[in-house]
């Protein structure tokens, strides 16, 4: 459980700084982080960091469908968290 929490914290920190780095690169007209990479970071546990980075750095806040996809990643993270933390749900499906 501790390793899982550390992993989640790590991917959220990475997602947060990825948004900041991509914003900086956009401002200086350098090669950017692909949207797919940013969304993958969010989907695989870094949605909170991605959303915080998006808002703090004011990056990709109006870009669609990116914004919707990022919110879907956040919902997937919440659903996974509920599943993972709920012994009743895990027992019902045999885990």
Q: How many domains are contained in the chain? A: 1
Structure tokens at 88: 């009743």
Q: How far apart are the first and last CA of the chain?
A: 16
Structure tokens at 16: 């947060």
42: Cβ–Cβ under 8 A, 6 or more apart, which residues?
A: 15, 49, 50, 51, 70, 73, 74, 77
Does the pTM surpass 0.85? The reply is yes
Q: 57: domain range?
A: 2-92
pLDDT in tens, 47-93: 999 999 999 999 999 999 999 999 999 999 999 999 888 888 778 87
């Amino acid at each position: 459980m501790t390793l899982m929490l550390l992993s989640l914290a790590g991917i959220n920190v990475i997602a947060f700084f990825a948004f900041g780095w991509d914003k900086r690169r956009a401002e200086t007209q350098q090669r950017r982080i692909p949207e797919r990479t940013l969304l993958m970071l969010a989907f695989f546990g870094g949605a909170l960091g991605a959303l915080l980075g998006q808002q703090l750095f004011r990056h990709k806040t109006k870009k669609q469908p990116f914004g919707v996809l990022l919110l879907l990643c956040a919902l997937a993270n919440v659903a996974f968290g509920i599943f993972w933390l709920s012994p009743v749900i895990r027992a019902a499906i045999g885990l």
